[in-house]
Amino acid sequence: MGDDDTVYFTENLVSVLAKHDHNQMWYIGGNSESVEQNVMHSYDMAFGGGGFAISYPLAEKLFNILDGCLDRYYYFYGSDQRIWACISEIGVPLTREQGFHQFDIRGNAYGLLAAHPVAPLTFKTWRSWSEGPFTFNTQPMKSDPCELPVVFMLEQAEEVGQSGSMTSYQRLEPRPERKCNRTDYAEAMSLQGIIVSALKLDPEYWTKDQARRRQCCDLKGGIKNNNMQIRIRKCRPWETITTER
């Protein structure tokens, strides 16, 4: 179930749900990113904006009590909250999966989409338009143009052979008042394009019973002709993000 603007990545969804025995009663989803929304509704509720899944046995039980249950909870604002209340009567708790994203934010979501899990830029909460709190780390927008992020937009994506991919990105030209003119930033500000090559991620990566680790990358040749090439790969056992060993 989900809202009319919920986006589903079908293969990912099937992969995640396959971890759970479909013969059991499951209520699977995620909370809101906004603390005030969770406090107002419940930390035990799956929010409809991110979508949530109900197994067939639970749906069958829910069907038998739904009419009376909806009458009892008519004062709840949304259908996701009413369904949560009805499932609570059955006694099935929420099973959280991190892939269900509610997106209770206002403003430019670019920072969350592009920088996660690195701290995204600050935006506003859904209900009160305040600057938080959220259930993930954020960082404030800086007034100094040289401390603002350099934004690159996806230009093209293509497959390479049977197991590779290549994506290219072009720099989004900032407004004149947001340009950094410091000489020590000249090389960085000259960068106009980035090409990223990588092997395709194993579709079963999120369901395997193994420890997870962020991937590493190699910079190929520095900045040439205002462009940079990056290769993403698995990290070697001894690697860290530092340059020292």
Which residues lie across from 166 on neighbouring strands? 158, 197
107-118 burial code (b ≥16 CB/10 A, e <16) = eeeebbeeeeee
- What pLDDT does residue 245 have? 54
Can you tell me whether residue 24 is helix, strand or coil? coil
Chain-centroid distance of CA 61 in Å reads 32
Q: For residues 119 and 116, give the distance between their C-alpha atoms in angstroms, rounded to a whole number.
A: 6
Q: What is the pLDDT of residues 43-97, one digit of tens each?
A: 899 999 889 999 999 999 999 999 999 999 999 988 999 999 999 999 999 999 8
Could you tell me the two tokens for 22? Answer: 């479909």
Q: Is the whole-model pTM more than 0.75? A: no
Rounded to whole angstroms, the Cα distance separating 109 from 7 reads: 15
pLDDT one-digit tens code per residue, 147-162: 888 888 999 999 998 8
Q: Give residue 108's pLDDT.
A: 77
pLDDT at 121: 64
Closest CA to 133 of 117, 143, 122: 122
Closest residue by Cα to residue 94 from 15, 40, 41, 36: 41
- Backbone φ and ψ for 219, nearest 5 degrees, come out as -90, 120
Nearest Cα neighbor of 167 from 94, 217, 128 is 217
CA distance 152 to 137: 22
Sheet holding 216-219, edge to edge: 152-160, 164-171, 193-199, 227-233, 216-219
Instruction: Name the phi and psi angles at 185, rounded to 5.
Output: -105, 5
Q: What's the pLDDT score for residue 52?
A: 94
> What residues in the chain have per-residue pLDDT under 70?
115-121, 203-210, 243-245
